[in-house]
Amino acid sequence: MACGLLRAAKRERVLSRLSLWFASLAAASSLTPVFAEDAIVVTAERRAEALSDVPQSISVLPAEELRLIDADHISEALARVPGVSLNRGSGAEHLTAIRSPVLTGGAGAGSFLFLENGVPIRSAGFANINGLFNAQYELAERIEVVRGPSGALYGANAIHGVINVIAPTPSEELSVFGEVFGDTQDRYKFKGSVSGTQGAHGFYAGASVTTEAGYREDAGLDQQKLTLRHLYDGGGVSIDTIFSFDNLEQETAGFIFGRAALNDKRLRKTNDFPQAFRDAKSARLQSTIEFDVGEGTRVQITPYARWNDMDFLQHFLPSNSLEENGHWSVGVQSAVYHDAGPLSLIAGVDAEYTDGFLYEFQSMPRIFSYTPGVHYDYDVKAVNASGFVQGEYALTPRTTASAGLRVDGVIYDYNNKTDDGIVGRFLRLPDQSDDFVTVSPKFSLRHELSDVTSIYAAYARGARPPQTTDLYRLQINQTGAQAKPEKIDSFELGLRTSLGERINLGLAGFFMDKRNFFFRDADGFNVIDGKTRHVGVEADVRIAIHETLTLASAVTYAEHTYRFDRNPADTPGVVSEDISFGDDVDTAPRVIANARLLWKPTDRITAEAEWIKMGSYYTDAANDNDYDGHILMNLRAEAGLTEKLAAFVTVRNVTNELYAERADFAFGEDRYFPGETRTFGFGLRYRR
């Protein structure tokens, strides 16, 4: 009886907090800190749930905070999340780290799951390391970040974490929003939306446009995004349909070379690759249908379709080859939720069909083993099918146990459209089919020590099949059978508590072992059967110093190390970069931190000072070269001029630090993507 009452109380608590959550989003003039016990998330169980009830590390960036940040790049927003670091590349590009080093190539594409409204932005085997530039974060209602494996519900690519960008919900009353912004880097941004509800129908339409000359030479960018949403609520049945489209056209600046160039105000703006570019387009359509089928049982079905197309010059390789890739997919996600007394069950089936292609061509003369002409030209068709089940049981009124399991199966049908065999360093396989099955279990135990303090312990496995590029975009001395499903086993301990009415604290410690790590070394060759270990602690703290002053901080200390040896002398074709057991993985700072001081003296005035620390890290696997790290400061302020109009200013990199967004060592050279120097911005916002 007590457990049944507990489950009912939990549902009531979630509904109550949902009401408070959406009410706060509607209050455009307010910016208040979102504490753990207040937040509602949908990424943990693919449905609304109170964050305080989740035995997992999840962070939420709400609309008010995203509006204050007004990020030029999504990396600025995600820097506030413990354990997360995005290395900003040129234009909209990025490399991601979530409880991991910054990963590149197939590992960078396949280790993180990027969602928009709960649906993957790209198909699992056709992922893109820059996948977040497709998401409409500029107008998002919130961004949710799951740290650690989430394979039990999401399957492939949820190895190190999940980022879910969620579109705004239609407002109850007719609302109009508009924003214009410009800064001293010749960057101009325009956003607008209209939303409302009429009877059972709600609608939302939002668009953003960004154009910038670029901090560096020949590095301009133009990007447009559109989101349309229709919500029908017929009582027992709801249908939520979302369409999104984005178009990116950028001139791409490549690496600068040498520390002297990084620290020279003129040289760091140069671009040795003025011919480089990236053009990308994508469209996604999804419709989530929810209905009750009995007391305590609800069904959720989400059919979807997506299309991606991208052309870019590989300026980061000596070949400067042109790559064209893309894919289209149709699929469906489904889940049945059943709550009965102390037991809550989720079960479902996901399925998807994908048709993709890749073409790579080098127009430059031969350089080293990079030969001119066609490198690769192939198609891949893929069929994915997955089944999952997860149960949660209230052992006592304060203790809950949960367990889940997901089985993913995929079949790749590869068709080579050029000659088979070796050309230079490139290996083209004959036509073939490959299939993989991965299993992702999870277990957790959560206990409430008091009404404001809970602890949890969790085990989870993340597993993913190889990316299609890992299997079919091969090089000499490799075979297609060398790429195996990557697996990571994660153990986590966490604490959430409130110390009085003013302090909220979240702590998490994690231990993860990964095997079958497939990555590219400093010579540009792929390494198979890699093993790494990831151990760290994270803290997320919010302190209400005064009713007008809030201090928030996210701090991470982690060690990411290789757990195998590799001697170049034993590897044909490799001339550098030995790997020793216990060495740090390259581009894996041990310390990353972010602290913000938020001042809100009135409902119309908000100001924030932000401090960011990136610790030092090695830039090669041999740990022979490094980057010293950096500290940045940003200032932001917003003032309401009238009830409907507000002005805001930003000062980024206040101290004018000459830093690197990304530091790397490859082909015998230090390479950097330089960060922007001090930048002043000004904008106006209108809302009614």
Tally Cβ neighbours within 10 Å of residue 459.
Answer: 15
Q: CA-CA-CA-CA torsion for 437, 439, 440, 444, nearest 10 degrees?
A: 170
What is the band of 150 on the pLDDT scale with cuts at 50, 70, 90?
confident
* pLDDT at position 187 over 70: yes
- How high is the pLDDT of residue 94? 94
Asked if 395 and 401 count as a contact pair (C-beta separation under 8 A), the reply is: yes
Euclidean distance between CA atoms 359 and 376, whole angstroms: 5
Least confident window among 46-50, 114-118, 295-299, 322-326: 46-50
DSSP state of 319: T
Average pLDDT over residues 68-83: 96
Counting the structural domains of the chain, the total is 1
Average pLDDT over residues 676-684: 98
Within a domain: 467: yes
pLDDT (tens digit per residue) in 535-582: 999 999 999 999 999 999 999 999 999 999 987 666 555 556 788 999
- How high is the pLDDT of residue 9? 44
* pLDDT at position 533 over 60: yes
pLDDT (tens digit per residue) in 110-138: 899 999 999 999 999 998 989 899 999 99
pLDDT (tens digit per residue) in 591-649: 999 999 999 999 999 999 999 999 999 999 989 999 999 999 999 999 999 999 999 99
Within a domain: 642: yes
Within a domain: 419: yes
* pLDDT at position 3 over 90: no
Residue 572: is it exposed, middle or buried by C-beta count within 10 angstroms (0-12/13-18/19+)? exposed
Q: Is 15 helix (H, G, I), strand (E, B) or coil?
A: helix
Within a domain: 348: yes
Tokens of 502: 């003013």
Residue 316: phi and psi, rounded to 5, are: -80, -5
Residue 560: is it exposed, middle or buried by C-beta count within 10 angstroms (0-12/13-18/19+)? buried
Residue 355: is it exposed, middle or buried by C-beta count within 10 angstroms (0-12/13-18/19+)? middle
Integer-rounded Cα Rg, in Å, for the chain is 24
Within a domain: 356: yes
What is the band of 70 on the pLDDT scale with cuts at 50, 70, 90?
very high
Task: Tell me the residue ranges of DSSP E strands in 567-629.
Answer: 591-602, 605-614, 617-618, 626-627
- How high is the pLDDT of residue 574? 56
Within a domain: 209: no
Euclidean distance between CA atoms 615 and 556, whole angstroms: 10
**What residue type is 306 in one-letter code?**
R
The chain-wide mean pLDDT, for the chain, equals 90
pLDDT (tens digit per residue) in 377-433: 999 999 999 999 999 999 999 999 999 999 999 999 999 999 999 999 999 999 999
- How high is the pLDDT of residue 523? 67
SS3 content of the chain, % helix, strand, coil (to 5): 10, 55, 30
- How high is the pLDDT of residue 618? 96
Give the domain CATH number at 364.
2.40.170.20
Average pLDDT over residues 241-250: 98
Within a domain: 210: no
More confident residue, 354 or 519: 354
Residue 131: phi and psi, rounded to 5, are: -60, -25
Q: Which contiguous run of DSSP H or E holds residue 256? A: strand 256-257
- pLDDT-above-70 percentage for the chain: 92
Asked if 588 and 618 count as a contact pair (C-beta separation under 8 A), the reply is: yes
- pLDDT-above-90 percentage for the chain: 79
Of 25, 24, 26, 60, residue with least CA distance to 40: 60
Within a domain: 84: yes
- How high is the pLDDT of residue 571? 59
pLDDT (tens digit per residue) in 27-52: 333 344 444 446 788 877 787 888 88
**What residue type is 209 in one-letter code?**
V
Domain with 403 in it: 2-204+215-382+392-687
Asked if 90 and 254 count as a contact pair (C-beta separation under 8 A), the reply is: yes
What lies within 8 Å, CB to CB, of 296 at 6+ separation is: 338, 339, 340
